[in-house]
Each structure stands twice: as C-alpha cells, then as structure tokens.
Amino acid sequence: MSPCLVLRVFALFVLFGAALLAQEKPSPKDEDEVAKLGPVDPYTGGDKAVMAQAGVVAYGPFPWADHHSTTDIDRVLGERRILWLETAHFKIGSSLKSTAWPEHADAKKFLQDEVKALRKKLPKVPEKPKKLDPWLRLHLYAQRCEKAYAECQLLLGVTDADFPDKGKLPREGQYLGLPGKFLLLTFQKQSDMGRYMDRFCNRKVDKSMRFYHDKTYQMLLAVAAEGLDGIDESGLHAHVLFATWQNLINGYNGYAFPLPLWFGEGVCHWYARKVPTEFLSVQVRDDEAIAEEKQHNWPVKVRRRAQHDGTWFPFDDMANWAKWEEMGYHAHSQSWSRLDYLMQLDREKVGLMLRQMKAVPSDGTFEGQAPALRTMAQKLLFELFELDGPTFDTRWREWVLKTYPKK
C-alpha cells in the first residue's frame, strides 16, 4: 500500500504556567517587522564562508514540500513576510517578531548559553543582545533543531553515513531515512498559520500542529506564537523542541505506524524538559485538578503519586494506552518519569528499543500495527532491561522516591 495513505496529523494541546507573562500584542508599527527587514541576513551578510561556519546551507527561495516552494508560500502569505533558512537537516521559515528575554533567572541563563554558542559561529551576534530580533530568533531555532537532530542520532546510535540517499521513498532517504528535510514554520500570527495549513495541508488549524506532507514524505511542525496565550521565548522553545522530537522519532525510518504512547511521549518530554519553563505541551483532563503554580514541577508531582498505591499508573496499563486524547497531565508526567528512569539505567538500550521498533516492516495500515508495536515494546523492555510490568513498577517507584525531591 502506498505510503501516502498513512497520512496523519496531530494537534498539540498546551498547558500554561500561571507565572508566564501575557503574550505581547503587536502594535501597528511592528506587525510587519519582518517585512520591513532587508533581504540580507545581518549576521552572515550572505557571505558563503560565514554561512558555512553557521551551518546555513541556503536562504529562500528553495523547494519546500509536496512539490511547492517557498515562493509559492510567499505568494499566499505575502512577499517578504517570512524569513527562510535551510540547514543540513531542516528547512525553516519564521515570521516571529522581536521579543524580550524571559524573566526567570534560570531561563535567562539557559538562553544566554545558547547565544554564547551561537556567537562562536556568528561573531556578529551581540554578546548580550537587548532583545531577540527576527533573524536572531531564526538562527536560534536553526541551532536548536540541529542540536535536537544530533542528539536524536546519538540516542539512535547512527550518523548521516548510515542514511545514504538511495531514493525518494521512506527508508531510502538521507534524513533519518526520509527523502526530504524536516520542516519547521514558526509564525507570529495565527492567521498566517491558518492560511498555510488551509492552502498547503488542507487543515483548519491555526495554533500548533505536526503534519506529514505525504507526497514528498516530509515531517512538518507549524506553530503560531500568537495562538499560545501566555507563552514566552523559553516556553515556545520547549514546545517546538517537544514537537520536533516527535517528528524526528516518528519520521525515523519512515512514518508508517505510531510508537507506543508511553514511550514516544516520554522520550520527547525527557528532552524538551531540559528547557527551563513553566509551559508544558500537554492537556489536562477535566477530572484532573492541578494547581497552576506547581504544574511544571514534575519530579515533585510524580513523587507524591508514586508513594501512594492507587495514584500512579501500573506499567501494564500504560503499555496499552492507545489514544493520545485520553492521556492527561499525570499520564504525560509519569511517561516522562518512566523514561527518566530508563535513561539513567542505560540510554543506549533506550535507543536500541527505538531502533528495533522502527525497523519493523510497514504493512501500510498505520494504526493497524499499533497493538503489535505496543507488545513489542514490552518484550524489548524485558529483553534489554529485564523488566516485566510489576518489576518495572517496583523499581521505578523505589528510584523515584529516592531520587525526586519531596517539594
């Protein structure tokens, strides 16, 4: 069956920390800030040597997805309203306007370290920029995406050399097996994202979505900052990182069937939560009462539930989770914690689990293979870690109570 028949889209529901600042509403003078910028990247000046040092392969226009180009997108959304940049493994478009630094000290320090790393490649970046301008934000997201790609390769135990370009079908391509680069669109306005999704994806969504362009087999993440009320730069970073990891591990070796939910969500949260923020890429179910000011403190939240019988999810139940929309706050936090435990046991074995699950041949049914993958994950867990469900529960709880803080 043709891979184009396994098209799936995923909306990302979001939860916000009460301490985040309200999203700034653009004033008339900065609504078209990107359009008013010159066509040349101020940090490379278009110099080929500087571009190569920064990991910039090209600026727009260039081919995009499903046989459309960035020029086609510009015609729909408006000329010069999106900055386009291509790296080794990603094609990125951004209409994000300038933004302030995050207010929390740990978030500031994290971002300062990112800027410091970027300055080693782009000396024209100020040591302490007063604000993050559109080009600087684009370079930061390019750096973040490539870092995530490198970390994903490290987890999988692979390199670019393991993916020679053999053809234009999944598992034949050079980007973790896909034939086209991964795609990221960071919009400032919901209206722009809505028009893109409607015209190029045939979807009515304008906040955040992962999408599989099934003609060229490319994984897209599109997100509109305006639609994520209360988000700051660190929160947007964490959200984009979480969803980028979703695209990387699901796109690896072809997007043909879903990974077990506890495993896939756990891996992506594990990497995204390295970004200090109170923003979480989860949904809270109606029957979950979570104090907003403490909802981001997963170690404490998980520990408090792990210490009491009946308040945590047994692994045999988690292993059979089949619907993302039925997962709530505690399901996501405990999936993260299960992976946190496995990662400290042996990260290479976690990567091997992922590698072996994604090596399964596709039968073309997508959801039809999901039950077999869930069973396979349980089998791999026992073979690699000697953990059946009850043993996993016992050792995980002991580790959580010993490792996570009480408050």
Residue 348: Cβ within 10 Å count: 12
Nearest residue to 23 (alpha-carbon basis) of 81, 93, 99, 135: 99
Q: Tell me: the pLDDT tens digits for 42-82? A: 999 999 999 999 999 999 999 999 999 999 999 999 999 99
Q: Is the pLDDT of residue 401 over 80?
A: yes
Contacts of 392 (CB under 8 A, 6+ apart): 315, 338, 381, 385
Q: Which amino acid is at 134?
A: P
Q: Is the pLDDT of residue 109 over 80?
A: yes
CA dihedral 205, 9, 313, 350 (to 10 degrees): -130
Report for 279-283, 295-299, 311-315: range of highest mean pLDDT: 311-315
Q: Tell me: the pLDDT tens digits for 168-180? A: 999 999 999 999 9
The pair phi, psi for residue 335, each rounded to 5°, is -65, -45
Nearest residue to 387 (alpha-carbon basis) of 329, 338, 351: 338
pLDDT for residue 39 = 83
Q: Tell me: the pLDDT tens digits for 146-167? A: 999 999 999 999 999 999 999 9
Q: What's the rounded Cα separation, in Å, for the pair 157 and 355?
A: 9
Contacts of 274 (CB under 8 A, 6+ apart): none
168, 109 in Cβ contact below 8 A? Answer: no
Q: Tell me: the pLDDT tens digits for 231-260? A: 999 999 999 999 999 999 999 999 999 999
Helix, strand, or coil (residue 397): helix
The first and second tokens of residue 182, run together, are 């991964």
Q: Tell me: the pLDDT tens digits for 9-43? A: 344 444 333 222 233 344 444 558 999 998 899 99
Q: What's the rounded Cα separation, in Å, for the pair 81 and 41?
A: 14
Q: Is the pLDDT of residue 6 over 80?
A: no
pLDDT for residue 38 = 82
Contacts of 240 (CB under 8 A, 6+ apart): 141, 144, 184, 186, 221, 223
Q: What's the rounded Cα separation, in Å, for the pair 116 and 368?
A: 47
pLDDT for residue 31 = 59
pLDDT for residue 11 = 41
